[in-house]
A and B are shown apart, each in its own frame.
Chain A
Amino acid sequence: MSARPTAREEILARMRRALDGAGEAPVPPREYRRSLDADADITAMLIDRLVDYKANVHHGLASIAAALGDAKRVVVPADLPEDWRLGGAEFVPDTGLSTADLDGTDAVLTGCAAAVAVSGTIMLDTGAAQGRRAITLVPDHHVVVVRREQIVGHLAEALPMLDPVAPQTWISGPSATSDIELQRVEGVHGPRRLDVVLLED
């Protein structure tokens, strides 16, 4: 008696049967843009798009303190540069904090992996100065520092800057919903406040 084929075997066999005689699909054309025009001011565009999606934008290292506002306890990745820890808040390095600990902080301060001007998107891939995903999720206020060389115009330029197999979070503005009459309202489960600090040198 032959054993019943596994689901895997059966689905693969069904696929092959369905494609019997289907031949090959043509190679996809790639005529779309992969960058912006050379004269585009990508920093200005990034700021415009961030503000459009209700993020606050600040300039220069010193503005970190203002961006953190009146947050008292601020969680930071353990490898966050010392000179970013500005202002009167208590900085709590994440050395495996519990969920309850995270929930007890007012804000989180991190860096990022890349920022896309066209869509106002900040990308995190848990690399340097970013920490694990939970620390940028549980606190209600995220302050993220973007260095000039991390800003690109187009999504196609940003993807190669990410570690493709690391956990990634792409962030475009604070948490929002369009579920009520399709109107965008800021602030549901993720951080309700997003502040972006641009280091332009």
Chain B
Amino acid sequence: MSTRIVPAASLIPADAPFPKAAKVALGMPQLRKNLAHATGTIRAKRANVAGELDDWESLRDTASAIKADVQHRLPELAVEFERNATAAGARVHWARDAQEANEIAARIVREAGADEVVKVKSMATQEIELNEHFEAVGLKAFETDLAELIVQLAEDKPSHILVPAIHYNRTEIRDIFDQKMGDAPKGLTDEPAALAEAARQHLRRRFLSAKVAVSGANFAVAETGSLVVVESEGNGRMCLTMPRTLISIVGIEKLLPRFADLEVFMQLLPRSSTGERMNPYTSVWTGAREGDGPEDVHVILLDNGRTGVLADEVGRQALSCIRCSACLNVCPVYERTGGHAYGHVYPGPIGAILAPQLEPGRHDDLPYASSLCGACYEVCPVKINIPEVLVHLRQQGPHQAGERAAMRAAKAVMARPRLWRAALKAARIGSMPWRRKGFLRRLPWPGSKWTVSRDLPVPPKEDFRDWWKERQR
């Protein structure tokens, strides 16, 4: 007997602020169990294969520096890419925002005489909501990555960058196939191999007859005008090879200066994302090649807020992200809330610094969805200092009137040594009754705003100033 599928994302109120959405997610025990299991598995695999390389730290340093270099030379590299891709037979388009990118893509599909496309998993197309746009203008986009297929069939939303269906376990996936796939084999079991076979059968005819494919790219090489797609299943190869028309939507931050730079990134990316020494399939293509693959090749270079991120000296490092998802897998907050609570296609630590920058004013609560433990920085293959950017964005973001007043008062007191000493003394005396417990659980208003979700340590019996004075004697 299979249980009825309720899309997980539908349980979380749309546009709810993170604390509220997180609370809902925390009340879903199966979701937490699935996440803990999956992230635990991948953490161990990543640590193993990263540990195999004795130059891992040097690779991270190089990757981080190459990405910084790319950001500084973005206009020049984008033009170089355009020139080389065009010379190789691709048509390069530029899109200021999601709307423009979607319109260009839809126009190309129609010009190719098609009304449906097969899709390779791509964060950029999720970000611009290409599927929704296509649907609105009467085109259909079929996801072909197994996890994306699961999410699309369940009418759910992705909850992880790499494994969008990470919040479902095998039994739930079996139930989704059973109820929504139409051509699911009778008596389908929840064995992962059987589920993969069902997906193969379901998509095979579509692959072999598709006219148009839409992809993203993991890297865009300026020197050659090549695009690179990293994948596991072969659905990427199918989309990139079989159709006549190929549309790739590529964020401008994906550029790399040289083909040889892949020797750095293709060591870091698979080990950091799936915990493999190398992913099963990597495709590299440059424009169109006669007699091999698509003849009608398009690249859409996408801004959609990225140049705004570029303008922030501290925040721009978020553009170095290679979407490996290692930071999600180690994040204690992500592990408990899952991806939907973040309310953005980029969840987890990277989402907490990218979403508020890509859409200024819309996700100001996300930089607080972190305990600043620093685990994300430690695993990030391109060494994005996520805690640094989080703190930076907290400073920049709006602050409530109460918080502002409290900070102003604290500043006034701390700036005057005599007042500060008096305040410390008052705090010591005031907290005497709780001394033995060591912390305060509930303060009266307005302090209750703080203690509603945190404990407050009791000030020590003796402060540093007094202790120092004592010692000097």
Residues of A within 8 A of B (CB): 6-8, 10-12, 14-19, 22-34, 49, 53, 96, 99-100, 103, 116, 118-121, 126, 132-134, 137-138, 155-156, 159-160, 164-191
Given contacts A180-B192, A181-B41, 17 further A-B contacts (CB under 8 A): A12-B75, A19-B72, A23-B72, A24-B72, A26-B68, A29-B62, A31-B58, A32-B62, A119-B278, A133-B241, A172-B276, A172-B277, A177-B146, A189-B203, A189-B207, A189-B237, A190-B280
Question: Please, how many angstroms separate the alpha-carbon atoms of A165 and B58 in the complex?
Answer: 28
Interface residues of chain A: helix, strand, loop or mixed (majority): loop
Question: Please, how many angstroms separate the alpha-carbon atoms of A57 and B62 in the complex?
Answer: 35
Q: Which of chain A's residues has its CB closest to B170's CB? A: A180
Contact status A190-B281, CB under 8 Å = yes
Chain B 273-293 near chain A by CB (<8 Å), digits 1 or 0: 010111111111111010111
Contact status A11-B96, CB under 8 Å = yes
Contacts of B95 in A (CB 8 A): 7
Contacts of B93 in A (CB 8 A): 7
Name which of B4-12, B128-136, B161-169, B399-407 contacts chain A. Answer: B161-169
Chain B min CB distance to A105 (Å): 13
Residues of B within 8 A of A (CB): 34, 37-38, 41-42, 45, 53-55, 58-59, 61-62, 65-66, 68-69, 71-75, 78-79, 88, 93-96, 100, 144-147, 150, 163, 165-166, 169-170, 173, 192-193, 195-197, 199-200, 203-204, 207-209, 221, 223-226, 232-235, 237-238, 241-242, 252, 259-260, 262-264, 266-267, 270, 274, 276-287, 289, 291-293, 301, 303, 307-308, 310-311, 313, 316
Contacts of B147 in A (CB 8 A): 179
Contacts of A33 in B (CB 8 A): 53-55, 58
Contact status B192-A181, CB under 8 Å = yes
- Picked from A8, A19, A118, A167, the residue with its CB within 8 Å of the CB of B293 is A167
Contact status A170-B278, CB under 8 Å = yes
Question: Please, how many angstroms separate the alpha-carbon atoms of A33 and B286 in the complex?
Answer: 28
Question: Please, how many angstroms separate the alpha-carbon atoms of A12 and B66 in the complex?
Answer: 20
Contact status A99-B145, CB under 8 Å = no
Interface residues of chain B: helix, strand, loop or mixed (majority): helix
Q: Which of chain A's residues has its CB closest to B191's CB? A: A185
Chain A min CB distance to B61 (Å): 6
Question: Please, how many angstroms separate the alpha-carbon atoms of A183 and B207 in the complex?
Answer: 25
28 contacts between A and B (CB under 8 A): A7-B94, A11-B96, A11-B252, A11-B301, A15-B252, A17-B307, A19-B310, A19-B311, A26-B65, A32-B59, A116-B278, A126-B289, A133-B241, A155-B267, A164-B221, A165-B88, A167-B283, A168-B284, A169-B237, A169-B281, A169-B284, A170-B266, A176-B232, A179-B145, A188-B232, A189-B144, A189-B207, A190-B280
Which has the most chain B C-beta neighbours within 10 Å: A159, A185, A187?
Answer: A185
Question: Please, how many angstroms separate the alpha-carbon atoms of A11 and B289 in the complex?
Answer: 29
Contacts of A173 in B (CB 8 A): 280
User: Known contacts being A118-B277, A159-B263, A174-B280, is A167 close to B289, with CB within 8 Å?
Assistant: yes
> What are the 6 A-B residue pairs with the smallest beta carbon separation, nearest first?
A190-B234, A28-B65, A189-B234, A18-B311, A119-B278, A14-B307
Contacts of B238 in A (CB 8 A): 137, 189-190
Contacts of A137 in B (CB 8 A): 234, 237-238, 241-242
Q: Which of chain B's residues has its CB closest to A180's CB? A: B192
Contacts of B37 in A (CB 8 A): 181
Contact status A178-B241, CB under 8 Å = no
Contact status A175-B232, CB under 8 Å = yes
Contact status B166-A182, CB under 8 Å = yes
Contacts of A31 in B (CB 8 A): 55, 58, 61-62
User: Known contacts being A132-B293, A169-B237, A189-B235, is A25 close to B65, with CB within 8 Å?
Assistant: yes
Contacts of A182 in B (CB 8 A): 38, 41-42, 45, 163, 166, 274
Q: Which of chain B's residues has its CB closest to A168's CB? A: B284
Q: Which of chain A's residues has its CB closest to B271's CB? A: A119
